[in-house]
């Protein structure tokens, strides 16, 4: 059904212009020029007053681009402010410990972004200046083609087109790209459209405008074509069948189920925690042990119901089992056997930990009668 819609659509736009005056398939350059003009006028009146736009800086732009990957804007705004308060400039970020950076990143997930941001800050600080070109930004840890294009165009005015998920969606619908946008041919097709659209005189605002259209108007499930400035040049605007078809993406692997059992082993106000390995899920973050203590520890029961949590490739169901050690010596022996440490809950609260733990943190404190963090 969806595919027949694509076929029907492709056949419809074989001419330069249809009876309604719509610019057709063979005139991309003219359509792109008109789309650029309309987009510029729309953005001037509809751009959101985001803090990194209101207070422009290279540091703020770079941070926003990394932070908003796989993070919603409404979640990112307060974290952007908080992160900048903790690390006001690249020198402060570069001189911080990785643990401090991960703690400040807590709640955003995908912690690899924070580690690479930290490494990039150290490289920038060592160099004594920010990169200014797309190519130079690409040389930094955690910077891919999109981030490099966005930062270099917004902060330095380099005329390069930035392509993120929003741009993929808008461009694929605008020009009827039926290849998967994450395939080699699809990537090339979308990049060609983005390049044709690009305003070389104001590339930063242009790139933000295209992304803004995707975020506010050309939405994934319910595009609002009736208020889209690009509707008169867009092939999908007059074919609603395509809204649910484009953009086409390659099938994703289903996330693997992960049954996770964490053991909350305490004695008084002390708790045993372990640091995860440097590689893999939640690298270097602090969690509870996954092995139960010996029989002389008191089983205090489970903390609430199993907690469900989704990562990119994993579907987690976590249970938290509470135990009480017979004495501090036994607690420390258990910690040593697990390769972990004994900490106060206050100290644990100040260490970077997975977002999954924040879902049960208050309940853990309540059940263990610890109020030190409040």
How does pLDDT run across 111-126, given as a tens digit for each residue?
999 999 999 999 999 9
Provide the 8-state DSSP code for 106: T
Catalytic option among 14, 54, 65, 99:
65
Per-residue DSSP letters for 296-338? TSEEEEE-SSPEEEE-SSEEEEEEEEEEE-SSHHHHHHHHHHT
Q: What is the pLDDT of residue 369?
A: 65
Range name among 6-15, 141-150, 308-317 with the lowest pLDDT average: 6-15
Please indicate whether residue 20 is annotated as part of the active site: no
Which residue segments constitute the domains of the chain, with CATH numbers given? 2-242 (1.10.340.30), 256-367 (3.90.79.10)
**Residue 91: pLDDT over 80:** yes
Tell me if the pTM is above 0.85. Answer: no
Task: Work out the number of other CB atoms within 10 angstroms of the CB of residue 60.
Answer: 18
DSSP 8-state secondary structure symbol assigned to residue 17: B
- 293: its two tokens: 């203590």
Task: Calculate the alpha carbon distances from 330 to 289, 323, 369 in Å.
Answer: 15, 12, 21
Side-chain-side CA neighbours of residue 280 (13 Å): 4
Mean pLDDT of the chain: 88
Instruction: Judge whether residue 12 has pLDDT over 70.
Output: no
């Amino acid at each position: 059904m969806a595919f027949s819609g694509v076929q029907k659509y492709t056949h419809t736009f074989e001419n330069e212009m249809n009876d309604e005056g719509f610019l057709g398939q063979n005139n991309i350059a003219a359509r792109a020029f008109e789309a650029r003009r309309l987009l510029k006028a729309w953005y001037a009146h509809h751009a959101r007053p985001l803090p990194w736009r209101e207070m422009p800086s290279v540091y703020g732009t770079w941070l926003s681009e990394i932070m908003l990957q796989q993070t919603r804007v409404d979640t990112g705004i307060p974290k952007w402010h908080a992160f900048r308060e903790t690390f006001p400039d690249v020198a402060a970020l570069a001189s911080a410990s990785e643990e401090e950076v991960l703690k400040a990143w807590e709640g955003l997930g995908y912690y690899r972004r924070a580690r690479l941001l930290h490494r990039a800050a150290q490289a920038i600080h060592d160099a004594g200046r920010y990169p200014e070109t797309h190519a130079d930004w690409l040389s930094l840890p955690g910077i891919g083609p999109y981030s490099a294009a966005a930062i270099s165009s917004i902060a330095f005015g380099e005329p390069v087109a930035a392509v993120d998920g929003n741009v993929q969606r808008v461009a694929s619908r605008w020009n009827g790209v039926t290849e998967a946008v994450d395939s080699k041919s699809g990537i090339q097709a979308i990049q060609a459209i983005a390049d044709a659209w690009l305003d070389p005189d104001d590339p930063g605002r242009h790139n933000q405008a295209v992304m803004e259209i995707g975020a506010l108007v050309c939405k994934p499930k319910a595009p609002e074509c009736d208020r889209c400035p690009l509707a008169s040049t867009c092939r999908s605007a007059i074919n609603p069948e395509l809204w649910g078809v484009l953009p086409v993406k390659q099938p994703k692997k289903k996330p693997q189920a992960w049954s996770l059992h964490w053991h909350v082993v305490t004695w008084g106000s002390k708790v045993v925690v372990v640091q995860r390995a440097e590689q893999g899920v939640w690298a270097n973050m602090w969690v509870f042990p996954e092995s139960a203590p010996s029989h002389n520890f008191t089983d205090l029961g489970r903390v609430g119901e199993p907690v469900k949590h989704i990562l990119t490739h994993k579907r987690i169901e976590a249970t938290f089992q509470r135990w009480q050690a017979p004495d501090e010596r036994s607690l420390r022996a258990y910690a040593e056997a697990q390769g972990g440490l004994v900490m106060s809950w206050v100290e644990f609260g100040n260490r970077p930990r997975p977002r999954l733990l924040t879902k049960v943190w208050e309940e853990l404190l309540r059940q263990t009668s610890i109020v030190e963090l409040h």
